[in-house]
Amino acid sequence: MLCLFCKRDSQGSRSVEHVVPESLGNTTMTLPAGTVCDACNNYFAVKVEKPLLESPELIALRFHETIPSKKRRIPPLLGTVGPGLPAFVQRYVDGNFMATISVESDALPYLISEKPSVVNLPALVDNWPAVLASRLMAKAALESLAQRLLGNPIGMRSLVADPQLDPIREYGRYGSGKPWPISQRRIYDVEKSWTLSTGEVVQRVWESDFLYTSFGEVYFVLAIFGLELCINLLDRDLRGYAAWLQTNNHASPLYHGKNS
């Protein structure tokens, strides 16, 4: 067994790999231990996912959508109360409290008066940090291909050995070369919900698919709470994707020709 990224022997690896980070709500889209070696798994967690998840854009998303980390913690958010006084807000998924607010003494009157002031919190921002997001997409694209090939040893060996995928493989794992461009656009509201056949109302945390164009291009498309990210696996070029969107009235590849 060879690692999908460094191509070294990974038979002794024990870490299950999450295609989308657990701290973005993914508990099911995983790869068995050894598909990605422990060293590469740890590298992505520390050097790519952690700084992205700790960016202001992702902290706001995780806070507003109550997305806990592996340790069941939601990142706190710094807001303001009254005339711009700082208010530190912490949300919880467990325990007796939904949230707590920490303020300096001069802000207390605005919280305990008969007409308390609203706590103003940073709004969601759709433009994620470009380089970190594109490296995450490079990783997720290759791992999604691997997930489709599980149980097919010949296909997995071909995926690891394919020289066409080495540039995006090395960019994701080592940051090699100039930044790989990605598309970011909102395809539905972050709070949009769907009603299941059981009557349960749910949000879609993430969804993904591949787009194969008539030009021989392969794009990986991933939506997280309605923010659609897209990357070209074979080239640092999004013109084919832009052309596909133009031809298809800017429909998302995740829904084009499908029931939503």
State the average pLDDT over residues 98-117. 83
Residue 48, sorted as left (phi over 0), alpha (psi -120 to 50) or beta, turns out to be alpha
State the average pLDDT over residues 52-59. 95
Q: How confident is the model over 75-91, as pLDDT tens digits?
A: 999 999 888 899 999 99
Q: Where are the domains of the chain?
A: 61-112, 128-247
What does the angle CA 219 – CA 223 – CA 228 come to, to the nearest 5 degrees? 70
CA neighbours within 13 Å on the CB side: how many for 52? 22
pTM comes to 0.92
Q: How confident is the model over 117-173, as pLDDT tens digits?
A: 688 999 899 999 999 999 999 999 999 999 999 989 999 999 999 999 999 999 999
Q: How confident is the model over 193-248, as pLDDT tens digits?
A: 889 889 998 888 899 999 999 889 999 999 999 999 999 999 999 999 999 999 99
Tokens describing residue 114: 């008969």
